[in-house]
Amino acid sequence: MGYLVRTSAAMLAAIAVSAAAAGEAGGELPPGYEEGLPILRLQKDAARDRGWLLVRDGVLVFDLKTRRTIARISLPEWLWVDEVYSCPPDLALGPKGEALVSSNVVQTLWRIDPVSLAVTRHALVLDVHNDRDVGFTGLAFSEAHGAFYAVSYFGALWRIDPQLARAQKIELSVPIGGACGVAVRTTKSRFSRFFGLCVRGDQRAGWTVNLTPDRRSGYVIAQPCTP
């Protein structure tokens, strides 16, 4: 596990979003985290009354009703960097209650089993950009496609296969540089006939990305959307 503790404006903005989400959770957080301990990401699994906190040294799992800590989980060889012009890694939940954690500097995912809480490490094979460090600053699962989508801070959007083996880059009409988070759009809009993703930016409001039916390309609209 490793990270550099040097906080940039982009990182502060991204952590502030997570802190705001934590604030909206009210009294659901474990003791200590309501008082401002750093949270990189908060996810709530209401179906299982389970909360997941991505923090600087791993993942904390807790009971949403009692606030009791269920487990503190270390991520083997987890690497992320806190440097200028970057955003934190992310944590997303899958269809069976599993958690996926990204790195913001390497194309590796850490999967946490929902029952045993055991961690497995998955190094993804990319179809492009193999000559550079590629990490993911946003993760989201699409029930419609049975796959995860991810964004990279330098402006790329990816589709990750269900086996967590490969990541395919989705060609975009314009880059989404500064992408710090992604969510599947579920609200209705005039573009609702398209599958859409809501991408959050670091220093801007964000983008709406409408994907083609084959999910190989997407049209970017320079305005945010609501997941």
In-domain check, residue 227: no
Residues of the chain above pLDDT 70, percent: 81
In-domain check, residue 2: no
Give pLDDT, residue 187.
66
Give the residue with greater pLDDT, 223 vs 76.
76
- What strand order describes the sheet that includes 91-93? 91-93, 99-102, 108-112, 119-123
Burial call 144-159: b when 16+ CB within 10 Å, e when fewer: eeebbbbbbbbebbbb
Q: Evaluate whether 161 touches 147 at the Cβ level (below 8 Å).
A: yes
Residues 6+ apart with CB under 8 A from 164: 100, 109, 111, 122, 124
In-domain check, residue 226: no
In-domain check, residue 143: yes
3-class SS of residue 18: helix
| 207-218 average pLDDT score | 92
Q: Can you give the residue range of the structural domain that contains 141?
A: 9-221
Confidence of residue 197 (pLDDT cuts 50, 70, 90): very high
| 11-40 average pLDDT score | 59
Give pLDDT, residue 15.
47
Q: What is the mean pLDDT of the chain?
A: 85
Give pLDDT, residue 84.
66
Q: Evaluate whether 111 touches 123 at the Cβ level (below 8 Å).
A: no
Q: How far is CA 176 from CA 201, 223, 224, in A?
A: 8, 11, 12
Give pLDDT, residue 24.
47
In-domain check, residue 177: yes
Give pLDDT, residue 23.
45
Residues of the chain above pLDDT 90, percent: 64
Question: Which tokens hold the place of 165?
Answer: 């083996």
Give the residue with greater pLDDT, 62 vs 22.
62
Q: Looking at the predicted structure, is the pLDDT value of residue 5 above 50? A: no
The angle subtended at Cα 70 by Cα 34 and Cα 26, nearest 5°, is: 25
Instruction: Determine the Cα–Cα distance for residues 114 and 121; give it in Å rounded to an integer.
Output: 15
In-domain check, residue 169: yes
Domain CATH number, residue 95? 2.130.10.10
Confidence of residue 8 (pLDDT cuts 50, 70, 90): very low
Of 124, 129, 130, the residue nearest 147 (C-alpha): 124
Residue 207 has phi, psi (to 5 degrees) of -135, 160
Give pLDDT, residue 148.
96
Number of domains in the chain: 1
pTM value?
Answer: 0.85
Q: How many CB atoms lie within 10 A of CB 182?
A: 27
Give pLDDT, residue 195.
81
- What would the pLDDT profile of 109-160 be if each residue is shown by its tens digit? 999 999 999 999 999 999 987 778 899 999 999 998 899 999 999 999 999 9
In-domain check, residue 105: yes
In-domain check, residue 14: yes
